[in-house]
Amino acid sequence: MIWKTKSFSAIETITRTGFLVAVTSYILFWLLDALQPGFVSRYFSVHIFLLSAIVFGVWWAAVVDQYTQRPWLESLVALSLGIILAVITWSTSDGLDGYRLLLALMGLFIPSIIYVLIKD
């Protein structure tokens, strides 16, 4: 029926919520620590949230009943990671003058290539 929403099991709801909270907390605390160094890392490591996100993500992937594909979101994530990887590669490859553009272009396209290979 149209108005009936998909029901999730209790363990799937808990693992999904744990993953999303851990990822959101990691990004938020990491940005706060990047804006003002020592603001968060003086008291605890932000990587605790990354570790918990990995644990909850693996657990969520193990208990999910049905995987729904969202190709536009997957393509957006691959494009975003490609742009981030290209910018990081460009900014850290100062000593590789002749290969700098080639490495940045490889960084731009590698996430999209991996996405296409995994999708098939």
pLDDT attached to residue 83: 92
Please tell me whether residue 112 adopts helix, strand or coil conformation. Answer: helix
3-state per-residue secondary structure call for 34-103: HHCCCCCCCCCCCHHHHHHHHHHHHHHHHHCCCCCCCHHHHHHHHHHHHHHHHHHHHHHCCCCCCCHHHH
Q: Which domain holds residue 24?
A: 8-65
Say if pTM beats, i.e. exceeds, 0.85. no
Please choose, from the candidates 30, 49, 27, the residue with its C-alpha nearest in 3D space to the C-alpha of residue 40: 30
pLDDT attached to residue 74: 83
pLDDT attached to residue 115: 87
Q: Give me the tens of pLDDT residue by residue for the chain, a chain 120 residues long.
A: 456 566 668 888 899 999 999 999 999 998 888 888 888 888 888 889 999 999 999 998 888 876 666 778 888 988 999 999 999 888 888 888 888 899 999 999 999 998 888 876
Tell whether the torsion through CA atoms of 75, 76, 78 and 83 is positive or negative.
positive
Pair 12, 57 in one domain? yes
Contact 82, 111 (CB under 8 A): yes
Domain assignment present for residue 22? The answer is yes
Domain endpoint, select from 65, 86, 106: 65
Pair 33, 55 in one domain? yes
Domain assignment present for residue 38? The answer is yes
Please choose, from the candidates 26, 15, 118, the residue with its C-alpha nearest in 3D space to the C-alpha of residue 57: 15
pLDDT attached to residue 95: 83
